[in-house]
């Protein structure tokens, strides 16, 4: 009995002790206890996002713990439970908290990436709108710039205002016509759209009626209706194809008509018709002769025919080349005529300006001697007056009254000085007029020389025979240069063909070569690795910016200094 009581007591004690240990463990894992051990990073994560799973961190190591009595490793029933391991709840809780922390960090990163994508999208749309606005502004500015360029060209070419007004009226009329055409097209489009809508409604109604009829009719009629419908669809598809072919043929016909509009092409077309008629006649005569002649003569005639055909082809190609050259030279002649006309108009304008200057200079030279004689007469009159005044003053003066009339003498001296100054000014004016006369004479001589040179140039351009001879010599030189360039082009073509063949063979050998294939694979791998390196560098830079120690240290030191100052003040 005593042994049983002791065993029961020991069991009760063990149960109470185990219950107390479990209670202690529960209290230690409580939220109020864990708040003490939560670090700064976890608090910041809680405040930053509510969607993240909050994981308390334990100071324990998450190793396997055996079931213990008050921390003592006492395994029970060692004989039965040798190979059995029992783990605490704390291990599994720690694993779950760790996984939750990882999931929360991943969710944070995903939210950050989503925010970045949103900002990038908003910035992209704003940039797109800005680009569209700038493109429209650029188009408007280009139109304005074209208008300014046109005005600048008119100013440079000295176009009259009447011509500008006529062009403006013509452009306004063209704009009115185009606006009227646009309105007509818009109205026609509206009518067509309304007709299309009406036809679609009619078609839908007819389809509805046909569906009702087909559902109510017999199966024989249904099959027949389906067959007819298929045939109708096939015929519609064939009709569309034929319409497309017809449109393409019409476009080809229009293009061919436009090509055949020119005079040279019409002449060539008429010559080809004549040539075909002559060939038919020749073939008929040849057939008649073939019936009479032998096979040897037939072969000879065929050889001659081929020779004549080759000659004709060569002659036709040469004629085309000559025609193209003639067109080029005609264009050059037209350009030369335009340049000569421009030069003549400029020359006429300059001659008119020179004539106006000559008339002005002649009028000045005609009036210059009269003005000079008038000025000389004024000088002589002023000198005579000065002499008379001096004589009068000397006759009226008395030697006794010299001391009393000193003021009058000073006044007379001042008047004499003024007269001398006026004489000096008149002499300077005369000198300036003489210099101006010399300049005018020099300009007249220069204008005469220019007039003579312009007359010589007019004589040169009026001599058309010399110009034609120069043109023919230039034409011959250009033809010789063209032939040389053609020969060089043919030689370069052959060289390029040979090089192209060699290049193709080398490319084929390269493609077949295993080293090249390996190099291509390595290049792709290298590009992939470079992309990964770039992503890693980006991630490292972001991590550095996030976990930079020095700014955190500075902020902490600043806060400490501020707190110390506050304490000292308190």
Mean pLDDT of 363-368: 76
| Residues 94/25, Cβ–Cβ less than 8 Å | no
Per-residue pLDDT tens digits for 384-406:
877 777 777 766 655 444 444 56
Res. 15: pLDDT tops 50: no
Would you state the pLDDT for residue 63?
Answer: 44
* Higher-pLDDT residue of 52, 206: 206
Would you state the pLDDT for residue 268?
Answer: 64
Provide the pLDDT confidence category of residue 350 given band limits of 50, 70 and 90: confident
Res. 282: pLDDT tops 70: yes
Closest CA to 94 of 55, 38, 127, 129: 55
Q: Tell me the whole-structure pTM to 2 decimals.
A: 0.22
Provide the pLDDT confidence category of residue 322 given band limits of 50, 70 and 90: confident
From residue 37, give the alpha-carbon distance in Å to each of 30, 34, 41, 319, 547.
11, 5, 12, 104, 22
Res. 465: pLDDT tops 80: no
Mean pLDDT of the chain: 73
Query: CA end-to-end span of the chain, whole Å?
Result: 75
* Tokens 């500008």, located at residue: 164
Q: How far apart are CA 22 and CA 240, in angstroms?
A: 88
Which residues, 6+ apart, have CB-to-CB distance to 21 below 8 Å?
69, 70
Would you state the pLDDT for residue 400?
Answer: 45
Per-residue pLDDT tens digits for 496-515:
888 888 878 877 887 787 77
Res. 95: pLDDT tops 80: yes
Would you state the pLDDT for residue 187?
Answer: 92
Which residues, 6+ apart, have CB-to-CB distance to 289 below 8 Å?
297, 301
Provide the pLDDT confidence category of residue 259 given band limits of 50, 70 and 90: low
φ, ψ of residue 25 to 5 degrees: the values are -65, -40
Q: How far apart are CA 446 and CA 348, in angstroms?
A: 18
Provide the pLDDT confidence category of residue 28 given band limits of 50, 70 and 90: very low
The pair of structure tokens assigned to 386 is: 């000065």
Per-residue pLDDT tens digits for 143-188:
888 878 877 777 777 777 788 788 888 888 988 999 899 999 999 9
The pair of structure tokens assigned to 431 is: 């000198």
Angle at 320 between CA 315 and CA 326, to 5 degrees: 120
Per-residue pLDDT tens digits for 413-425:
787 778 778 777 8
Mean pLDDT of 231-243: 86
Q: How far apart are CA 519 and CA 357, in angstroms?
A: 83
Mean pLDDT of 106-134: 86
Most confident of the following: 45-49, 104-108, 115-119, 440-444: 104-108
From residue 548, give the alpha-carbon distance in Å to each of 108, 540, 543, 554.
19, 12, 8, 11
Would you state the pLDDT for residue 362?
Answer: 75
- Above pLDDT 90, what percent of the chain? 3
Q: How far apart are CA 315 and CA 119, in angstroms?
A: 73
Res. 223: pLDDT tops 70: yes
Per-residue pLDDT tens digits for 294-306:
556 666 666 776 7
Res. 245: pLDDT tops 80: yes
Closest CA to 14 of 61, 76, 59: 76
User: Any bridge partners for residue 72, and if so which?
Assistant: 69
Would you state the pLDDT for residue 125?
Answer: 80
Would you state the pLDDT for residue 293?
Answer: 54
Per-residue pLDDT tens digits for 519-559:
788 888 888 888 888 888 887 777 766 666 677 677 777 88
Q: How far apart are CA 346 and CA 338, in angstroms?
A: 12
φ, ψ of residue 72 to 5 degrees: the values are -95, 130
- Above pLDDT 70, what percent of the chain? 73
């Amino acid at each position: 009995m005593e042994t049983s009581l002791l065993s029961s007591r020991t069991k009760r004690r063990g149960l109470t002790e185990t219950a107390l240990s479990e209670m202690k463990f529960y209290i230690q894992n409580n939220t109020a206890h864990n708040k003490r051990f939560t670090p700064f990073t976890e608090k910041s994560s809680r405040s930053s996002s509510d969607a993240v799973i909050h994981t308390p961190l334990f100071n324990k190591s998450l190793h396997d713990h055996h079931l213990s009595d008050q921390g003592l490793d006492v395994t029970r029933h060692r004989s039965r439970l040798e190979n059995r391991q029992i783990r605490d709840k704390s291990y599994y809780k720690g694993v779950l908290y760790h996984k939750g922390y990882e999931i929360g960090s991943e969710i944070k990163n995903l939210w950050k990436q989503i925010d970045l994508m949103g900002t990038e999208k908003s910035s992209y749309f704003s940039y797109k709108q800005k680009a569209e606005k700038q493109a429209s502004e650029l188009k408007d500015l280009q139109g304005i710039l074209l208008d300014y360029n046109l005005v600048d060209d008119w100013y440079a070419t000295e176009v009259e205002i009447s011509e500008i007004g006529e062009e403006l009226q013509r452009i306004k009329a063209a704009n009115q016509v185009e606006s009227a055409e646009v309105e007509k097209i818009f109205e026609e489009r509206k009518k067509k759209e309304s007709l299309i809508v009406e036809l679609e409604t009619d078609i839908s109604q007819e389809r509805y009626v046909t569906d009702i009829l087909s559902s109510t009719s017999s199966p024989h009629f249904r099959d027949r209706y389906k067959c007819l419908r298929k045939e109708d669809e096939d015929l519609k598809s064939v009709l569309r194809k034929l319409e497309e072919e017809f449109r393409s043929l019409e476009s080809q016909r229009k293009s061919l008509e436009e090509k055949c509009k020119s005079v040279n092409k019409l002449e060539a077309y008429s010559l080809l018709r004549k040539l075909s008629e002559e060939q038919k006649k020749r073939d008929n005569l040849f057939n008649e002769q073939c019936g009479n002649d032998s096979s040897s003569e037939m072969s000879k005639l065929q050889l001659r025919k081929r020779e004549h055909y080759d000659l004709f082809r060569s002659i036709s190609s040469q004629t085309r080349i000559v025609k193209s050259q003639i067109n080029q030279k005609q264009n050059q002649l037209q350009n030369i005529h335009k340049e000569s006309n421009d030069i003549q108009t400029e020359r006429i304008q300059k001659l008119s300006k020179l004539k106006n200057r000559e008339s002005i200079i002649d009028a000045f030279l005609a009036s210059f001697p009269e003005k000079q004689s008038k000025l000389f007469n004024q000088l002589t009159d002023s000198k005579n007056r000065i002499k008379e005044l001096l004589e009068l003053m000397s006759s009226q003066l008395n030697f006794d009254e010299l001391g009393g009339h000193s003021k009058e003498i000073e006044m007379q001296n001042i008047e004499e000085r003024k007269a001398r100054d006026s004489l000096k000014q008149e002499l300077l004016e005369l000198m300036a007029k003489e210099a101006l006369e010399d300049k005018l004479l020099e300009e007249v001589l220069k204008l005469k020389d220019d007039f003579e040179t312009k007359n010589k140039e007019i004589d040169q351009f009026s001599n058309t025979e010399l110009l034609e001879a120069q043109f023919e010599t230039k034409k011959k030189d250009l033809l010789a240069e063209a032939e040389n360039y053609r020969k060089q082009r043919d030689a370069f073509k052959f060289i390029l063909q040979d090089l192209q063949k060699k290049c193709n063979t080398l490319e084929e050998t390269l493609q077949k070569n295993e080293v090249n294939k390996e190099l291509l694979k390595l290049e792709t791998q290298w590009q992939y690795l470079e992309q990964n390196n770039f992503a890693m560098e980006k991630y490292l830079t972001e991590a550095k910016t996030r976990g930079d120690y020095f700014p955190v240290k500075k902020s902490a030191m600043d806060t400490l200094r501020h707190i110390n100052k506050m304490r000292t003040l308190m």
